[in-house]
Amino acid sequence: MSARPVIGIATQTLEAIPGQVPLAWVMGQKYVRVLTSVGAVPWIIPLLPDDEATLRLIYEKTDGIFLTGGVDMEPSTYGETRHELCGKTDPARDATELTLLRWAMADRKPVLGVCRGIQVINVAAGGTLYQDLTAQRPEGIKHDYFPPAEGCTRNSLTHKVRVERNSRLGRIIASDEASVNSMHHQGIKALAPGLMPTAFAPDGLIEGVEGANGQFLLGVQWHPEELAESDPLMRRLFSTFVAAVTDSRS
């Protein structure tokens, strides 16, 4: 057994440009680099929803699953019709990540999700999403600080979250409050059974969840990978995850 745990990361579809670029799978380097910096071996997983046998063999080589940010989830995955402001989706990614996550939940394999990742966790466990926060939750604060709008960068701290101190997230953050970046226009609507809310935006939107059964199943709505170099507590999210993955193998 390798001393370094293997963390699976599903890719995202890059559409073909006819005559120039073929259909491809991609994933941002930042996610890979932050995991390697805390001792993990990232395994980039192709989107194979129509080849479950191969996907299962890949899954069995992993010790944990990391769910990254990305495009919107297809509303049919949580039983809703498409809102006019729902953005670009990637059905192959939805299907692949939901399959990986349901296997991991059944096996109690450690999972960490960020941004879109917390939404995938909620949907896989039976919850729903706001398809556009501005339209469907107009009383809320601004969440969609997508760079370079309003002079923001990916590590701009745009609001605080209240953290439940007695939660796993609270013990990692070691505080009941954290300043975070915010680059999402969707969010958790109905929280799934079996998940506990652990962090909240100033408008009450759930921005942190974890499993209620003791499994390391943790999701946050912000992008800690963009903050890990400057904030030791955000880096601790990843090091704690990798430590849990390592412990789960013994």
Residues catalogued as catalytic = 115, 223, 225
Phi and psi at 218, nearest 5°, equal -135, 135
Report the candidate in 114, 124, 145, 108 with the shortest Cα–Cα distance to residue 208. Answer: 114
d(C-alpha 68, C-alpha 18), whole Å:
28
Report the candidate in 26, 123, 97, 112 with the shortest Cα–Cα distance to residue 63. Answer: 112
Structure tokens at 189: 């609507």
The DSSP result for 120-184, as a single string, is HHHHHTT--EES-HHHH-TTS---B--TTGGG--TT---EEEEE-TTSHHHHHHTSSEEEE--B-
CA angle (205, 210, 212) in 5-degree steps = 120
d(C-alpha 82, C-alpha 188), whole Å:
16
Structure tokens at 138: 């107009």
d(C-alpha 230, C-alpha 172), whole Å:
16
Adjacent-strand bridge partners of 44: 9
Tokens 């805390």 locate to 38
Q: Are strands 187-188 and 64-67 parallel, antiparallel or unpaired?
A: unpaired
